[in-house]
């Protein structure tokens, strides 16, 4: 049975690897074409400007943290902490409120301590927010989650500075290309955040939940469903009247969320350091196109 399971996993893995290889080859071809074309679809030569590059990296890194954090924490609120969809939505308000306040205070703060410090500090603040989830001693609680969300939201407020640096670091005739690359960085950051952090969380949840032994008494198909999805595990536990199964699934998901917070927070701090090193010292926002 073990060898058959490994064979099935290999059969599923091969198409994914082939797809990844094809995608990487197409991306490489697209980059080479853009670099060689006199009128490229995306002018990658813009990355030679350090202000532009720092803004793009900050935009990508901030959305990487925020989208993945919202996805995982929203699941935790509803399926583990017992909040209704409406309650979970209300609890996510700190992200929007902190982001709005930070975006308003970022420009005047940049004039005092410099745009580079504000931009890198904002990304670092989002990273600290994610680390707060992972470093919570004992059982994870709503207060820690709300504080973490507020920090992530405040960190994304620095994107106002990043956007200004992107446009300031590009020629006026390339403003369209600069805006397109900025929007692409937002989308790519969101996709990478969900793919990387979401996959890490899913793997950790599956591993701990399987090791707990709570799935041993279930039918194989129900065990597989519970192992693959927290929502499915909670639904199966409710249908079968197995509170221990629901509790075990919640604990496994919480631990996975915390470890993912540590990984994501560490990556965000690394991005903040890169942004600080790339952005020119003494960068000022004198206006944009």
In a domain, 234, yes or no: yes
Radius of gyration over alpha carbons of the chain, in Å?
Answer: 22
Cα 22 to chain centroid distance, Å, stands at: 25
The pLDDT of residue 12 is 53
- DSSP annotation of 213 reads T
**pLDDT for the residue 286:** 64
Domain count, the chain: 2
In this structure, are 5 and 122 located in the same domain? no
Same domain, 36 and 53: no
Residues 24 and 100 in one domain: no
The reported pLDDT for the residue numbered 154 is 87
Ranges of residues in the chain with a pLDDT under 50 are: 1-6, 8, 288-289
pLDDT at 287: 52
Paired tokens of 93: 């308000």
| pLDDT tens profile 131-174 | 998 888 778 888 888 888 888 888 888 888 888 888 888 888 88
Residues 11, 152, single domain; the answer is: no
Q: State whether 232 and 118 are in the same domain.
A: yes
CA atoms of 181 and 176, how far apart (whole Å): 9
Whether residues 26 and 103 fall in one domain: no
Domain that holds residue 82: 46-278
- Residue 72 pLDDT: 87
Distance CA 261, CA 270 (A): 14
Q: pLDDT value at position 15? A: 80
Instruction: Please check whether residue 102 is in contact with residue 155, taking contact to mean a CB–CB distance below 8 angstroms.
Output: yes
177 and 238: one domain? yes
Shared domain for 1 and 83, answered yes or no, is no
Statement to judge: residues 154 and 265 lie in one domain: yes
Give the pair of three-digit tokens for residue 106.
């970022």
**288 domain-assigned:** no
Q: Report if pTM > 0.75.
A: yes
What is the rounded CA–CA span in Å between residue 289 and residue 280? Answer: 19
- What is residue 1's predicted lDDT score, i.e. its pLDDT? 42
* Predicted local confidence at residue 282, as pLDDT: 76
**Residue labelled with tokens 């703060």:** 109
Dist CA 99 CA 156 (whole Å): 6
Q: Do 14 and 96 belong to one domain?
A: no
As a whole number of angstroms, the distance between CA 24 and CA 40 comes to 19
Residue 273, pLDDT score: 93
Residues 178 and 139 in one domain: yes
Q: Which two tokens stand for residue 252?
A: 């496994």
Give domain status of residue 283, yes or no. no
């Amino acid at each position: 049975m073990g060898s058959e399971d490994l064979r099935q996993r290999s059969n599923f893995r091969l198409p994914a690897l082939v797809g990844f290889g094809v995608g990487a080859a197409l991306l490489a071809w697209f980059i080479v074409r853009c670099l060689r074309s006199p009128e490229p679809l995306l002018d990658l030569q813009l990355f030679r400007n350090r202000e532009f590059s720092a803004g793009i990296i900050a935009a990508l890194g901030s959305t990487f943290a925020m989208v993945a954090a919202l996805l995982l924490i929203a699941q935790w609120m509803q399926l583990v902490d017992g909040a209704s969809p409406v309650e979970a939505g209300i609890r996510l308000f700190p992200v929007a409120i902190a982001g709005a306040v930070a975006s308003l205070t970022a420009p005047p703060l940049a004039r005092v301590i410099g745009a580079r410090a504000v931009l890198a500090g904002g990304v670092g603040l989002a990273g600290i927010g994610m680390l707060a989830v992972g470093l919570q001693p004992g059982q994870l609680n709503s207060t820690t989650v709300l504080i973490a969300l507020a920090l992530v939201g405040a960190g994304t407020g620095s994107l106002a500075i990043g956007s200004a640096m992107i446009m300031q670091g590009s020629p006026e005739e390339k403003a369209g290309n600069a805006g397109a690359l900025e929007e692409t960085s937002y989308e790519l950051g969101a996709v990478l955040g969900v793919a990387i952090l979401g996959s890490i969380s899913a793997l950790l949840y599956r591993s701990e939940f399987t090791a707990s032994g709570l799935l041993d008494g279930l039918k194989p198909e129900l065990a597989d469903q519970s192992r693959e999805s927290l929502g499915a595990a909670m639904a199966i536990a409710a249908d079968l009247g197995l509170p221990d199964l629901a509790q075990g699934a919640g604990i496994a998901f919480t631990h996975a969320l915390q470890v993912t917070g540590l990984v994501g927070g560490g990556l965000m701090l690394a991005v903040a350091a890169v942004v600080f090193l790339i952005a020119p010292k003494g960068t000022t926002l004198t206006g944009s196109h």
